Amino acid sequence: GLDGTLYDYFNGMEDLKNKKVRFVGDPEKRIQEDYLRILRYFRFYGSVAEHADAHEPQTLVAIERNAAGLAGIAGERIWVELKKTLMGNHASHLFALIYKLGVAPHIGLPCDGNVGELQRVWERSRASAPRPITLLSALLRCADDVGHLDARLRLSKDERNLAAFVVKHRGELRPDADGDDPLGSIKAFVTDARPHGEAKARASELLRYLGEAGPAVELDGWRPPAFPVSGHDLRRLGLTSGKEIGTELQRLRALWQRSGYRADKDALLASVRQG
């Protein structure tokens, strides 16, 4: 009330003390009033519950019976709930439950989502606070899964591109423990990419996905070297044709890459004069 008195008609305070999550009254009726409450249940569970698997059986039955109702909910609203669930506790358990109860196909998740991979990624990376889409990418097996997820959830362009990046590169772009610089190959990838900033941010998220928190922080603080030669430099040396300049810039960039990105402007331009 206005005087601060708490009127608790449904024993909600007791549930909070016991870290218990349940619907008010009949769970089936509450869900049918707004099917998004299915996903809100998972989100609240991750925020309140102490144990991963302490659900009331009637709640799970009601969710399973009414999962198809989520097909009519806008993707943007679904994604808001999934993001919050991914950032809460018990996320890997809750997404396994989403699959077990038949919710996944109605919210854009792949029918054969890799729940085991999500569990591994969540366990090894949650301390480094990866982005929700980075975690969710663990469920996706291929580029088509990214496209279907985007079509249903209406991801931002940045989220879609990050998911595609993780799915494409998670098996190949990894730190090299045996090299002089464990991040050497990743830094080379970022240096060759354009724009550098986007590539570096995505590579950093991929490192978090892989459980490489330390290298991710190191990469965040690293600044990619800039290719030191421009078309203006080549014009000053007498090259005039746009095609000729473009070809020469490609040759010089390859030379710069082979030097480990150490060759400076003078050394690269010297190779033009010698040519």
Residues 1 and 103 in one domain: yes
Encode pLDDT of 38-58 as tens digits: 999 999 999 999 999 999 999
Regarding whether 11 and 88 lie in a shared domain, the answer is yes
> Are 120 and 139 part of one and the same domain?
yes
Total domains present in the chain: 3
Q: Choose among 120, 40, 115: nearest CA to 83.
A: 40
Q: Tell me, yes or no, whether 218 and 157 share the same domain.
A: yes
Indicate the pTM of the whole model: 0.87
The Cα 25–Cα 154 span in angstroms is: 33
Within this chain, do residues 172 and 235 fall inside the same structural domain, yes or no? no
Pair 101, 115 in one domain: no
195 and 99 share a domain? no
Percent of the chain with pLDDT over 90: 84
- Whole-Å CA distances, 181 to 10, 27, 75, 224: 60, 55, 42, 14
Domain harbouring 197, CATH code: 1.10.3090.10
Closest CA to 275 of 222, 243, 239: 239
Co-location of 203 and 215 in the same domain: yes
- Distance, CA of 134 to CA of 162 (rounded, Å): 7
User: Are residues 67 and 27 part of one domain?
Assistant: yes
Same structural domain, 212 and 136 = yes
- Do 73 and 129 belong to one domain? no
Average pLDDT of the residues in 203-223: 97
Q: Which of 61-65, 173-177, 179-183 has the lowest mean pLDDT?
A: 179-183
From 107, 124, 150, the end of a domain falls on: 107
Name the domain boundary from 224, 241, 262.
Answer: 224
Q: What is the model's pLDDT at position 194? A: 87
- Count of other CB atoms within 10 angstroms of residue 87: 17
Claim to verify: residue 265 and residue 204 sit in the same structural domain = no
Domain span including residue 262: 231-273
pLDDT score recorded for residue 12? 53
Write down which residue in 91, 107, 123 finishes a domain. 107
